[in-house]
Amino acid sequence: MRASTYFIRYWQLYALLVLPLIYFAIFKYGPMYGIQIAFKEFNFFQGIHGSEWIGFDAFREVFQNQEFYKTLRNTLMLNFLDLLVSFPAPLFLAIMLYELKSKAFRKVSQTILYVPHFISWVIIGGIVYQVFGTQSGMINNMITALGFDAVPFLTEKTHWLFTYLATGVWQSAGWGTILYLAALTGINGELFEAADMDGANRLQRIWYITLPSLKTTIVTLLIINLGHIMTIGFERPYVIGNLAVRDYSDVLSTFVYRVGMESGQYTLATVVGLFQAVVGLIFVLGANYASKKLADESIL
Amino acid sequence: MERRMGKTSKKMLAVTAGFAVLMSACSNAAPNEGAEGAASGEQERTTLKVEVFDRGNAPAGMSIDNNYLTNYVKSSFSDTSGIDVQYVPIPRSEEIQKLNVLMASADDVPDIVFTYDSGTYYRYATQGGLTDVTELLDEYGPNLKAFLGEDTLKYGQIDGQQLAIPGRRLVLGRYASYVRQDWLDKVGLPVPQTTDELYEALKAFKAQDPGGLGDKMIPLGMSMAPAQYESLLWSFVEPLTEEQRYTLTQKLGSSDYPVLLPGFKDGLQFMNKLYNEGLISKDFALDEDKKQIWQDVQNGLVGAYSEDAGELFFGYNSTYKNMQTNVSGATFTPIDPYTDAEGKHAKPGYAPNAMYIMIPKSSERAVEAIKYLDWMASEDHLFFMQNGVEGENYALEDGIPVLDAEAPQDVQDRLYNYGDMAIIVNGKFIGEPQQNSEAYIRQVPKEYHELMRTSVDISNVDKIDQIVMPRPIESESKYGNALAEKYKELIVKTTMAAPDKFESTYESIMKEYMAGGGQAILDERKTVYGEMR
């Protein structure tokens, strides 16, 4: 079939494709015009076009800034720890849910597990303060009532890491199970029956059937997650973080917010954003390449 | 829950939209005739866009751009001048970020914008984005000029150009401290007059637990809002030469910071001692907006604390009232304990300017903008905006308007946003300084007038004036916000460090502070000071 007849026959499908393409053009490609701010001394009143070119001066300024390296380190550290803790959590949870015999119980627990995903970080932040505070937090009230010393969950940086990761798991693990559960419904039930016949116990079934059938999903999600290793949401570190744990809670997004939005230095903020995007791209391509070589799975 | 709410609001939306269609269909023909009739008789109408802070607290039936005061502007200003005023709401908590975005988009920016942040003002000024209003003020703003006075106006001048119109600030004192009198009585100590006496009182509170609160008690209320720590820290600053005052002070945002001043470190050391002896809340670092400390004070957990003078007596705050309701017999005595090396009770005050009111260069309504501000400063317009209607909103006592707290809610609600509408002044303006101060005091409920008066007096004792440099310090505008955060971090970390780690913590954060712009500001201030000589 010639390309044009193909196109004419299936024009409805192409028409459907137009909307997402417009979305990408407007919200993803359009703003790339602004990248040039990184190479200009941005003046509010001259606009992007009228501002003067300064070459790589702004890059030099950013790369000489100690705060930048600290926030870069924290971003990588928090994201990496998140990858270790929050990435496997939904997988375990999904398998556990899948193994549940009672359908009603599974449905109810799934719904309960989804709820935190819909709570905004600002509210979670308030809850976290009430629960983990040192002076009057719920948990510390219990600890001190039992005669132990209060634990500085929020104000000591190592303890804070635990709080940060735990709230992350609590907030996202339930929602993260959706993709896995969808993939799990695709498994042919006969495989399990056969395994039962062969005398496989539950763990063996999980290991030899459930996990392998999730491989593609896991790899895909891992690659996507690696692509985000340089970017970190603004709300979570900003809301859960505080002055006492700045050493760990100050990340690129909060840095950009402070420098760009609060201090009006859009040039520096753009430089950081561009840097993040470039490194993120390298991570995605690298992870994709590695997974192609090692597991013969890739998304590109 | 979430889903159901979504559905309901969608339904509401549909209903509202339906109504709107109906209404417009019915009334389509009528208004045109009226508009034509009015327009033919008058001069051409223009629209002036004015920024307004949106605190999300509009009473039922009003909105931030349509309320009693906007209607007053309409009838008193727009109808006679032919200038319609359109208010552009900006969320109070993100004003700078939003303002930056607006300024960058020349088309949408209001004709009158403002900020308290001097760094932001300097940035706009140095990038050439503001209208020089020197001549416009002479021509169209005689009342405004007279009202503000030269002392205030100079805060908005750079190189002889009037690039901002600074509002006038009436109440210049800032802080007072308070101690629980009932606790003092129980532990048998006098009202603390010095830092040492306060420390003794705090120790006694901790040891004897006069409130019977156990672990919950907080001898000294602390937070990371300036009101709680500034009077303490500034009192440790040693006597300064003029040169030190000019060169070592750092102005970040809109206030002077003592971070490089000799003696400041001793203040941090004292905070460290208080913290490690369990005299301040372990969670003070988490409280940046005073929410927690207000709650603790109201619950009667706090023995003493510093605060914006009198804030706890105001009706919007009610901290004091709630505390007395929650804990029977609890009373505060206003105190002024922090004493410096010379025996003075030095504490920062406000500069005599309030907001920087600016007209963007892209605005084509600069004349109208000045006319609007001049209108506000003329006759009794400001008085009306701040006080409302005599006999309904207020009664005159000794020539001072005192708001009627018993007035019906809808009458009180008229003035809910007067502070954000009357932008040319901060505080209630009556006339003479004494009257203005008295008007400020009488804003609190009657039973607290005496406490309030003492608080205001305390805030004015040995007040440290803000330093005005002859020209803006560029690096302050560039690094100010980041350094202000670093400064808070310095306080928190040095306070919470173990006593033997204090020195190393201080050193390492100060290094970051200096590298992050502190040094640049110091150098620039030294240069400017050299030019002044």
Clarify whether residues A87 and A98 are in a common domain: yes
**Minimal C-alpha gap between B294 and chain A (Å):** 14
Which residues of B fall within a CB distance of 8 Å from A66?
512, 515-516
Q: Any chain B CB within 8 A of the CB of A64?
A: no
Residues 6+ apart with CB under 8 A from B106: A45, A47, B360, B362
Clarify whether residues B414 and B391 are in a common domain: yes
Q: CATH number, domain at A62?
A: 1.10.3720.10
The pLDDT of residue B151 is 84
Q: Could you report the per-residue pLDDT of B329-371, keeping only the tens digit for each?
A: 999 999 999 999 999 999 999 888 889 999 998 888 999 999 9
B444 is a domain residue: no
What count of CB pairs under 8 Å joins A to B?
Answer: 91
Which residues of B fall within a CB distance of 8 Å from A46?
127
Which residues of B fall within a CB distance of 8 Å from A242?
285-286
Residues 6+ apart with CB under 8 A from A62: A68, A268, A271, A272, A275
Clarify whether residues A49 and A183 are in a common domain: no
The pLDDT of residue B42 is 52
DSSP class of residue B62? -
Clarify whether residues A20 and A155 are in a common domain: no
- For residues B18-28, give the mean pLDDT: 40
A89 is a domain residue: yes
Cβ under 8 Å to A: B residues 245-284: 281-283
The larger pLDDT score, comparing residue B11 to residue A73, is at: A73
The pLDDT of residue B56 is 81
Q: Any chain A CB within 8 A of the CB of B21?
A: no
Question: Whole-angstrom Cα distance, residue B319 to residue B295?
Answer: 8
% pLDDT > 90, chain B: 54
Clarify whether residues A248 and A115 are in a common domain: yes
Q: Any chain A CB within 8 A of the CB of B445?
A: no
Positive or negative: CA dihedral B192, B197, B201, B206:
positive
Clarify whether residues B344 and B262 are in a common domain: yes
Question: Whole-angstrom Cα distance, residue B115 to residue B351?
Answer: 15
Q: Which among A44, A66, A135 has the least Cβ separation from residue B282?
A: A135
Question: Whole-angstrom Cα distance, residue B354 to residue B360?
Answer: 19
Which residues of B fall within a CB distance of 8 Å from A45?
103, 106, 124, 127-129, 360-362
Tell me if ipTM is over 0.85: no
Clarify whether residues A82 and A230 are in a common domain: yes
Q: How many domains does chain A have?
A: 2
Closest CA to B229 of B203, B202, B262, B264: B264
* Residue of chain A whose Cα is closest to the Cα of B517: A65
Clarify whether residues B234 and B323 are in a common domain: yes
Clarify whether residues B470 and B505 are in a common domain: yes
Q: CATH number, domain at B150?
A: 3.40.190.10
Clarify whether residues B343 and B379 are in a common domain: no
Domain limits for position A119: 56-295
Clarify whether residues B328 and B381 are in a common domain: no
Clarify whether residues B271 and B407 are in a common domain: no
Question: Whole-angstrom Cα distance, residue B132 to residue B139?
Answer: 13
Q: Any chain B CB within 8 A of the CB of A242?
A: yes
Clarify whether residues B239 and B336 are in a common domain: yes
B337 is a domain residue: yes
Which residues of A fall within a CB distance of 8 Å from B496?
155, 244
* DSSP three-state, residue B324: helix
* Token output for B188: 């048998």
Clarify whether residues B313 and B188 are in a common domain: yes
Clarify whether residues A86 and A173 are in a common domain: yes
Cβ under 8 Å to B: A residues 148-167: 150, 152, 154-155
Note whether B97 contacts A144, CB cutoff 8 Å.
no
Clarify whether residues B217 and B315 are in a common domain: yes
Q: How many domains does chain B have?
A: 2
Clarify whether residues A37 and A78 are in a common domain: no
Clarify whether residues A101 and A238 are in a common domain: yes
Residues 6+ apart with CB under 8 A from B65: B52, B86, B87, B88, B89
Q: Could you report the per-residue pLDDT of B243-300, keeping only the tens digit for each?
A: 999 999 999 877 899 999 999 999 999 999 999 999 999 889 988 888 899 999 999 9
Q: Which among B103, B285, B515 has the least Cβ separation from residue A44?
A: B103
Q: Any chain A CB within 8 A of the CB of B102?
A: no
Clarify whether residues A21 and A91 are in a common domain: no
Clarify whether residues A49 and A166 are in a common domain: no
Clarify whether residues A94 and A15 are in a common domain: no
B389 is a domain residue: yes
The pLDDT of residue B43 is 63
Question: Whole-angstrom Cα distance, residue B205 to residue B218?
Answer: 9
Clarify whether residues A169 and A251 are in a common domain: yes
Note whether B286 contacts A118, CB cutoff 8 Å.
no
Give the Å distances, CA to CA, from B49 to B90, B368, B493.
12, 10, 45
- For residues B408-423, give the mean pLDDT: 86
Give the Å distances, CA to CA, from B131 to A282, B100, B359.
46, 17, 6
B438 is a domain residue: no
A300 is a domain residue: no
Which residues of A fall within a CB distance of 8 Å from B127?
43-46
The pLDDT of residue B391 is 86
Confidence of residue B17 (pLDDT cuts 50, 70, 90): very low
Note whether B361 contacts A246, CB cutoff 8 Å.
no
Which residues of B fall within a CB distance of 8 Å from A65?
516
B73 is a domain residue: yes
B452 is a domain residue: no
- For residues B86-108, give the mean pLDDT: 85
Clarify whether residues B223 and B187 are in a common domain: yes
Q: Could you report the per-residue pLDDT of B426-460, keeping only the tens digit for each?
A: 988 988 888 899 989 988 888 999 999 999 999 99
Buried/exposed code over A26-54 (b: 16+ C-beta within 10 A; e: otherwise): eeeeeeeeeeebbbbebbbbbeeeebeeb
Closest CA to B180 of B162, B195, B198: B198
Clarify whether residues B133 and B189 are in a common domain: no
Domain limits for position B312: 175-348+465-532
B10 is a domain residue: no
